[in-house]
Amino acid sequence: MVQPPLKQLATICTSRPAPLPTFFFVIIICVLGFYAFHFSSSSSFSVTSSPRNSVRFQQLLLSSGSNYTVASYLRSLTLHPHLAGTEPSSETVRYVESHFRDLGLETHSIQYDALLSYPKSTSLSVLFSNGSVVNIPLSENVEGVVQPYHAYSPSGTVYGPAVFVNYGRDEDYRELAKMGVTVVGCIAVARKGEFPRGVVVAKAEANGAKGVLLYTEGDRFRQGFERGTVMRGIGDPLSPGWAAVDGAERLNLNDSEVLKRFPKIPSMPLSAESAEIILNSLDTASVPPEWRDKKANLRSAAVGPGGPIFINFTYQGERKVATIRNVIAVIKGLEEPDRFVLMGNHRDAWSFGAVDPNSGTAALLDIARRFALLRKLGWNPRRTILLCSWDAEEFGMIGSTEWVEQNIVNLGTKAVAYLNVDCAVQGPGFFAGATPQLDDLLHDVTAQVQDPDVKGATVHDTWTAENGIGNIERLGAVNSDFAAFVQHAGVPSVDVYYGRDFPVYHTAFDTYDWMANYGDPLFHRHVTVGSIWGLLALRLSDDLILPFSYVSYANQLQAYKDTLNHLLDGSVSLRTLSTSIEELKSAAQEIENEAKRLREQETSSDVALFQKRALNDRLMLAERGFLDVDGLRGRPWFKHLVYGPPSDYESALVYFPGIADAVSESKEMNKMGLEELIQHEIWRVARAIGRAAAALKGELS
């Protein structure tokens, strides 16, 4: 059952019992808006969003947020668990589609058939040396939620002694080796750290383990199991690099390209509570003090293997092709319909998905409501805005990746920016990630939005007070839907959210009640994320000159170069990198001066508009310069040479992934002669930065 969305303008306007002044303001705007609407529809010329008008619509966007509507959307979206490819997931497709349609937005859905993975049966028992067997329950006993599993784990039964491997990093295995402990033929028990599950399993496999049990520490919700994917790479494994549409080429399941993305040993998530049963029974070697899980109250400090206990676990599952759907609403731009500002959030969830991801979906639906209101009041964005609801993100960003692959040429030539929100609200505190040309815009926009938790302060005030400068993360990881946009298509992107590290992550307890009790009791943080997300889209779609700063990009690259210099300790020359960064800096400064001149221009003649559009194109295309046709070495899908995941998750560099790989390789191999490889990767990055600078300059040589 889904709730009927709001249909009437009157309801849209008054859906929040707002504080009185705001309430009247909204009513007045509604009334004025009706006149504007009638006027514009009866006159022959269209309403153009001049900068002055834009400010008015920005105010309206801010004042029309409603914690009541956003809460009701979240309630409807989280009535049932809705794992990708299942029937309850289709219900959420219909809910989102009819919400957009009922608001009068042009809406369509796109279907792909992708390889997903589901469990059939699992079991885990612990065999003690005195002969007693303890069966560990692998369920949270919540009706309708898929049993805990790792998507794409191979099926199998494994039996062997257990070894605690801490986070399962290389350094942990080295530490074990020092203690004389090996995991060959054992079952690795690891606690979840920073890097992806698939990497933990791959490292255990490489060290000879037969299977992996991965638990999540925590002092609350200790019965929760963290589900997740262990697939490496991104997108549908059977159509790597192209869209999984009906009739498309599909690789065989036994193709080496497909096989290399899956682990060969089975793995499973454990709750903190069940992990404790195992960890408390291990002995043999002493655990290093920093390995101790303080919250788990471990009785003995031990890593195993064996001693008194053996583990027997079975995972039986199936990988099967299932249908997934993205839902997209389009708000056509009036003056530049062929320039796209994309807003996206995934809809599929491991369980009820109140935080992950439907706090974001609720915010997206509330933005749709606010945009529909603005449209009724005469707003037409200058550029086209797309509201995108992605599917199957949890399996490996599949819905968004297939869509990016399908639209690669049009995105490459026409996408202005992609604005992502995944888990919109996890708790208190604002966080943001972005490609650096959008840093300034993030600062601007957050300074316009009231902090939901601190009276009289803006989000910007508290954000910058908490970590000094308003620390902005970069988008090189493959952990949400921005990955394909940034790392494959080179589209400038943003990612925003409230709170982090929430305790019910990927468990059956990620429910509406958790949100209403802990995550966001009055739903004001949801409204705030919606306001920031919506304002970013308004600015990017309405500003005559795109609000991008490449000076900020060049400064960021300069800082990366300095760190790299330190890391390489003079063993490799960075001269070429310095030169290209200088080139980008001067091009960035030049275009900023040009932009300033054009902004001050009074005339709106055709010539002036074309000049602005030409300048915007240079700003839009500069990010594409960082792409390289050949992509990263051995991972050609990853085209971006500044942001992407290094192969080695313990790399000291979280940018320049190609250089990072070369550096790790040279360390690992302890080989001479790899300076050449590092040097070559530095050259590639330098050329990429040079291409970005050339795009900013916009002239042929």
Question: Could you list the residues that contact ligand NAG (CB under 6 A)?
Answer: 67-68, 71, 123, 128, 130, 132, 157, 159, 252, 254, 281, 312, 314, 522-523
Amino acid, single-letter form, for residue 337 = P
Closest approach of Cβ 231 to ligand NAG, in Å? 19
Sign of the Cα torsion 686, 688, 692, 698 reads: positive
Task: Give the span between the Cα atoms of 443 and 447, in whole angstroms.
Answer: 6
Phi and psi torsions of 125, nearest 5°: -135, 150
Contact 397, 485 (CB under 8 A): no
Give, as one character, the DSSP assignment of residue 304.
-
User: Least CB distance from residue 164 to ligand NAG, whole Å?
Assistant: 17
Total Cβ atoms within 10 A of residue 394: 22
Catalytic-labelled residue, pool 336, 393, 583, 681: 393
Q: How far apart are CA 427 and CA 417, in angstroms?
A: 27
Any idea of the CA torsion for 643, 259, 401, 638, to the nearest 10 degrees? 20
What count of Cα atoms within 13 Å lies in the side-chain half-sphere of residue 248? 19
Identity at 257, one-letter amino acid code: E
Nearer to ligand NAG, 43 or 130 (CB): 130
Three-class SS of residue 108? strand
Q: Closest CB to ligand NAG among 530 and 658?
A: 530
Q: Could you give the CA distance from residue 143 to residue 128 in angstroms, rounded to a whole number?
A: 32
Q: Cβ of residue 252: shortest distance to ligand NAG, in angstroms? A: 4
One-letter amino acid for residue 173 of the chain = Y
Structure tokens at 159: 């039996």
In 274-408, the DSSP E strands lie at 309-331, 336-346, 383-390
292, burial (CB in 10 Å: exposed 0-12, middle 13-18, buried 19+): middle
| Separation of alpha carbons 48 and 652, rounded Å | 49
What distance in Å separates the CA atoms of residue 33 and residue 369, rounded to the nearest whole number? 15
Start-to-end CA distance of the chain, whole Å, equals: 61
Other Cβ atoms within 10 Å of 245 Cβ, number: 14
Evaluate whether 362 touches 77 at the Cβ level (below 8 Å).
yes
Active site includes 582? no
- Minimal distance, residue 280 CB to ligand NAG, in Å: 9
Task: Name 430's bridge partners.
Answer: 498
Whole-angstrom Cα distance, residue 581 to residue 52?
36
Round to whole Å and give the CA distance between 217 and 414: 44
User: Which is closer to ligand NAG, CB of 157 or CB of 286?
Assistant: 157
Pairing of strands 150-151, 106-128: unpaired
Would you tell me how many other CB atoms lie within 10 Å of the CB of residue 697?
A: 16
- By beta-carbon proximity to ligand NAG, the closer residue of 154 and 337 is 154
| Cβ 310 to ligand NAG shortest distance, Å | 8
Nearest-angstrom CA–CA distance, 132 and 147: 26
The amino acid present at 21, given as its one-letter code, is: P
Residue with structure tokens 């390789």? 665
CB 122 within 8 A of CB 147: yes
Compute the distance between CA of residue 490 and CA of residue 69 in angstroms, rounded to an integer.
35
**Helix, strand or coil, per DSSP, at residue 107:** strand
Please give the helix or strand (H or E) that residue 163 lies within, else none: strand 156-164
Decide whether 71 or 231 has the Cβ nearer to ligand NAG: 71
Contact (CB, 8 A) for 389 and 382: no
Token pair 């060959």 is at which residue?
A: 184
What are the tokens at 160? 């062997």
Q: Which residues are paired to 189 by β-bridges? A: 164, 213
Q: Which of 394, 511, 505 is CA-nearest to residue 118?
A: 394
- Catalytic sites, residue numbers: 393
